[in-house]
Structure 1
Amino acid sequence: MTISANASAPLPTTLHIGMAKAGSSTIQGVLQTARETLAAQGILYPRDLLPNGSTGGDNQKCLAVCNTREADHFVLRQHRVRNPQDRARFNQRVTQLYTEQIAQARAAGAGLCLLSAEHFWSSLNSDRELGWLANKLRDVGLRVDRLVFYIRSQSDWLESKQHQSVREGAEPLDMSIAALKAQPFYQRLPHDHVAALWQAAFPDARFELRLFDSRDFVKGDLMSDFKAAAGLDADLPAAPQREQPVERRGQCDDPPEPAGPRGGPDHGRGLAAQARDLSGAAYAGPLRNADGARARRHRRSLRRLERAPARPVLSGS
């Protein structure tokens, strides 16, 4: 499939909000490997700015970090950003890099841009930062038409985080609620809050909310599922089998429930039930444009997640 578009119009864009430990690295690795193949099909997967001054990489972390309020972000330290003047130069270099790539892609007839970075999820945590990102994307010539967000049950996510700490020889996480609330990742675990922030920043974009669970994947394969979520009809290799999430036997108490029709009265309800925060409070209503029909079978799988007396607040101030 070859996608083409008007060379003077903003380039339609699908943005993958790369939640950590939810397949993001695998998706990005495949997209990086297939960068030239995608370009031949009219799809741009941009190169990012690297600390050595060259371009490349498997995701667009600098594009994300341009918009964070965190002055001492480790990506900024990698690029030797030490003061506001360095930060301004860094932002200018990133803007120029993406503007040039997008202009070249449009001139070559590209009709779609793909963006993916864990830092969209981990480094942009307020409506103000996401507003800055929306403005940045418009400035470089992009129009976000679709958001893809893979979520993982908070209990599974924390378990995976703990395993990573042990593998890397780090101090194991204190899993008490008081300790978890002090962790920088805590405010990003309420999926409904994160989804609402992104929907507010990109109100015209279709929102694809997906479960990171191999039982829910199209064809049981992460990349096939990502292609469906991103609306792609492109040639992409399958995800390495070792990167597929492990099926958790006995996770659900009940047998699978039949899926409701897409767009029907139950549309989005299954994933909305999954999008809980650590207080156990459910999202009040279906997420707009969320593809929840296939996920209804898992609506009870998060009843074992950790609970807290109060939910964290994401503020735009």
Structure 2
Amino acid sequence: MTRFVIHIGMHKTGTTSIQAGLHGARDALAERGVLYPDLGPNHSHPLVSMFCDAPLDYYVNFYSGIDTPGKVAAFNHRHRESLDAQLAARKWQTVLLSGEELGTGLNESELRAFKRYCDRYASSYRIVCYLRDPVGFATSATQQQVQAGLTLEELYRTPPRVRYRQILEKYIRVFGRARIHLRTYQSNRRREPDLFKDFAEACEASYLAECVEPTPRQNKALPATAIHALSLYNHRVPPHFIDHAGTTINPARPPIDKVIRTLRGLGFDNSTPFSLPPAVRRLAILGQLEDIGWLTTQIPYARHGPLDRFRYHLWRWFLPAEEQPFGQATDRDDLKKISQLVRFTTDAPPARCRPSISAVATTPAYTPAAAALANALHDRLSAA
């Protein structure tokens, strides 16, 4: 009997650290009868490419240079053979798969194809999904997307968000509601060993925390000055162009890792962490209202347990300070008030909870230090 545990992220919830730790502990896990397939630390790319209907259009393939039918077929065949061999090598007690894009990169019919493949080996399933508060997610994702080439102007207009309903509804239909297990990601608990301890609890596999060695923190954040400088550089040297012919990579733009490495080498003020302006934070929360409403009304067990603290922080950040009737997150009366506040139909959230948003306030405030750093970055990369 082989239990499949499928970790679908979400993005910006410590997945890179979890995947690096599991990948490095494959031998120790195998001794316990657990397979973490050797498909790279993050299983997203090979699995989505194998099971999506149009792998040639999959953006990760495109940016990885797998951009012809022959290259795609070879990539998928190689990884399919490898996965088949690993799954058939022995009778595994547990198979662990981890990939954020297993949630975002497969539509429902593709997800069903993925499950049909897993059904050949699986006797049961457990889907593990971490949720993160809208402001924390938008802040972290904005930093990452600026490093990938976007500008703060673009991201402030439409803050990054996770479409929880869109992702989880298809998983409920394909795997069944009882197999979906939600956890709340708390950024102050993301360091080892707490991250793996929580993940082990989510997987109902306490031994995971014992097998995994602490790994250096992945995706180390850049401070405010560096993010602003990088956004200014992205204005001057965008990573790609989009026109009537489609997307064309900018040949004048160095690879992402070289840009970031050069930026770090220039030195900058590390004292101020990056944060979103208040108006953008409110936009981020407003963008998640429907999803949070759906979570609290469509998944009964999401009204209790881990999501209590998630909802508490959501509504504390959303409401103006003078309208916050809440005390500490551990106060049961306060949690009851929050539950009453968020238990609304997704089409009609309470009027008092609709924030007023100033478009003017969403313009980035670039400092002279950021502008000087952007100029230095441009000069250094141009001379290279």
* Structure 2: distance between partners of 1:205 and 1:79: 39
RMSD: 3.8
Q: CA separation of 1:64/1:144 partners in 2, compared to 1, >3 Å: closer, same or farther?
A: farther
More divergent stretch after superposition (114-123 vs 215-224)? 215-224
Q: CA deviation at 1:131?
A: 1.5
Structure 1 residues 90-105: aligned runs within 5 Å: 90-105=75-90
Q: State the match for 2:212 in structure 1.
A: 237
- Unaligned 5+ segments in structure 2 are 222-284, 320-345, 349-384
Q: CA deviation at 1:22?
A: 0.8
Q: CA deviation at 1:279?
A: 4.5
Q: CA deviation at 1:43?
A: 0.4
Q: 1:116 aligns with which of 98, 101, 112?
A: 98
Letter in 2 for 1:68: C
Q: 1:174 aligns with which of 149, 154, 163?
A: 154
- Unaligned 5+ segments in structure 1 are 6-10, 49-56, 247-273, 312-317
CA contact (8 A) 2:21 2:215 kept: no
* Structure 2: distance between partners of 1:162 and 1:132: 33
Q: 1:197 aligns with which of 170, 174, 197?
A: 170
Q: CA deviation at 1:39?
A: 0.2
Partner SS state of residue 90, structure 2: helix
Q: CA separation of 1:174/1:223 partners in 2, compared to 1, >3 Å: closer, same or farther?
A: same
Q: Deviations over 1:31-63 (max 9, x none)?
A: 011110000011010011xxxxxxxx2122202
User: Residue 60 in 1 paired to residue 60 in 2?
Assistant: no
Partner SS state of residue 19, structure 1: coil
CA contact (8 A) 1:22 1:150 kept: yes
CA contact (8 A) 2:3 2:125 kept: yes
Q: CA deviation at 1:150?
A: 0.7
Q: CA separation of 1:205/1:96 partners in 2, compared to 1, >3 Å: closer, same or farther?
A: farther
Partner SS state of residue 148, structure 1: strand
Q: CA deviation at 1:64?
A: 2.6
Letter in 1 for 2:122: L
User: Residue 136 in 1 paired to residue 117 in 2?
Assistant: yes
* Structure 2: distance between partners of 1:288 and 1:67: 31
* Structure 2: distance between partners of 1:19 and 1:280: 14
Q: CA deviation at 1:95?
A: 2.6
User: Residue 277 in 1 paired to residue 288 in 2?
Assistant: yes
* Structure 1: distance between partners of 2:22 and 2:84: 20
CA contact (8 A) 2:197 2:206 kept: no
Higher helix share: 2
Partner SS state of residue 36, structure 1: helix
Q: CA deviation at 1:120?
A: 1.1
**Number of residue pairs matched?**
252
Aligned identity (percent) is 24
* Structure 2: distance between partners of 1:220 and 1:214: 13
Q: State the match for 2:144 in structure 1.
A: 164
Larger radius of gyration: 2
* Structure 2: distance between partners of 1:127 and 1:113: 22
Q: State the match for 1:296 in structure 2.
A: 308
Q: State the match for 1:32 in structure 2.
A: 23
Q: State the match for 2:68 in structure 1.
A: 82
Letter in 2 for 1:142: A
Q: Deviations over 1:46-92 (max 9, x none)?
A: 011xxxxxxxx212220232222443224434373512x65455444
TM-score of the superposed pair, with normalisation by structure 2: 0.56
Letter in 2 for 1:171: T
Q: State the match for 2:135 in structure 1.
A: 155
Letter in 2 for 1:196: E
Q: State the match for 2:38 in structure 1.
A: 47
TM-score of the superposed pair, with normalisation by structure 1: 0.66
